[in-house]
């Protein structure tokens, strides 16, 4: 059970860490972790924080829209950096270290931009739970000396959600998200077309009322993952037909439901089994 006093101690420690930077740029995606980190940075160093949004094909447009709306509401200075991931050497081939290749380029760009603004530190929002999954991108962060204050204060996802709720952040109960490239199996080519198909299908499922979802791209087949408590909605024949017909319009011949339900890092299972 999480104690309130422990939460306060960690939050206060986080504020002090960020205060020690004096000026900082924050990698911002609009998700639970980066929104909480940015809010704390605003509290700690005020207008000395700058939010960076990297706009790519594997970031859904709805996430970009929500991120910008939050920044403008909170009156936080921000910069949108456009980047074509296909320009990152090796990314499109989708190797097992794809996340490393991507984060290395993205955070190098952010670090260079930050220095141009006279900001010596770049912060990102990975948390303690991220250490439990295969995250090759973390190595890139270490190499570039990117700061990860949420991990430094040993904040878990659940703790971040609780503190976000206390701060009045709407993201406190936002489903976990990841870039669209994680929906494509390792070794299969990543294209704009595939990413767009995935984004359209996931948007459609959200419009139907599903929350924590993934649409995995397996060639002509789309594999849907939802939380177990939402699976019952998919047993309705009318809903099944609507989804199947829509997915066919997008380009999938077949649509399947993963009976194992949603799992964070599900595409990494093949790596675990191999090892």
Residues 158, 171: Cα–Cα separation, whole Å: 12
| Contact present, 13 and 153 (Cβ < 8 Å) | yes
DSSP 203: H
Maximum C-alpha span of the chain: 58
Q: Provide the token pair at 148.
A: 């990860």
Q: How many CA atoms lie within 13 A of 8 on its CB side?
A: 3
Helix (H, G, I), strand (E, B) or coil at 17: helix
**Pick the catalytic residue: 49, 99, 179, 201?**
179
Strand partners, 79: 52
Among this protein's residues, is 49 annotated catalytic? Answer: no
* Residue tagged 């991990």 (tokens): 151
Place of tokens 């984060």: 103
- CB of 134 within 8 A of CB of 268? yes
DSSP string across 102-154 = HHHHHHHHHHHHHHHTT---EE----GGGGGS--THHHHHHHTT-B-HHHHTT
Token pair listed for 128: 């303690």
Give the residue numbers marked as catalytic.
Answer: 179
């Amino acid at each position: 059970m999480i104690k309130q006093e422990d939460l306060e101690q960690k939050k206060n420690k986080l504020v002090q860490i960020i205060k020690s930077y004096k000026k900082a740029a924050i990698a911002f995606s609009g998700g639970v972790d980066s929104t909480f980190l940015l809010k704390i940075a605003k509290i700690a160093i005020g207008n000395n924080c700058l939010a960076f949004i990297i706009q790519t094909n594997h970031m859904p447009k709805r996430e970009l829209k929500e991120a910008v709306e939050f920044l403008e509401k909170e009156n936080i200075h921000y910069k949108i950096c456009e980047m074509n991931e296909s320009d990152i050497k090796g990314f499109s081939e989708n190797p097992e270290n794809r996340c490393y290749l991507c984060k290395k380029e993205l955070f190098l760009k952010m670090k260079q931009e930050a220095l141009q603004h006279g900001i010596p530190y770049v912060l990102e929002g990975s948390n303690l739970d991220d250490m439990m999954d295969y995250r090759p991108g973390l190595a890139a962060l270490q190499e570039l000396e990117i700061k990860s204050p949420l991990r430094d204060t040993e904040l878990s996802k659940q703790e971040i959600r609780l503190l976000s709720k206390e701060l009045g952040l709407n993201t406190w109960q936002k489903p976990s998200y990841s870039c669209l490239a994680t929906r494509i199996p390792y070794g299969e080519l990543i294209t704009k077309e595939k990413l767009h198909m995935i984004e359209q299908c996931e948007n459609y499922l959200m419009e139907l009322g599903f929350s924590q979802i993934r649409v995995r791209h397996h060639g002509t087949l789309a594999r849907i993952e939802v939380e177990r408590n939402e699976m019952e909605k998919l047993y309705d024949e009318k809903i099944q037909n609507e989804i199947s017909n829509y997915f066919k319009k997008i380009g999938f011949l077949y649509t399947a439901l993963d009976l194992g339900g949603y799992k964070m890092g599900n595409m990494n299972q093949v790596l675990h089994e191999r090892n």
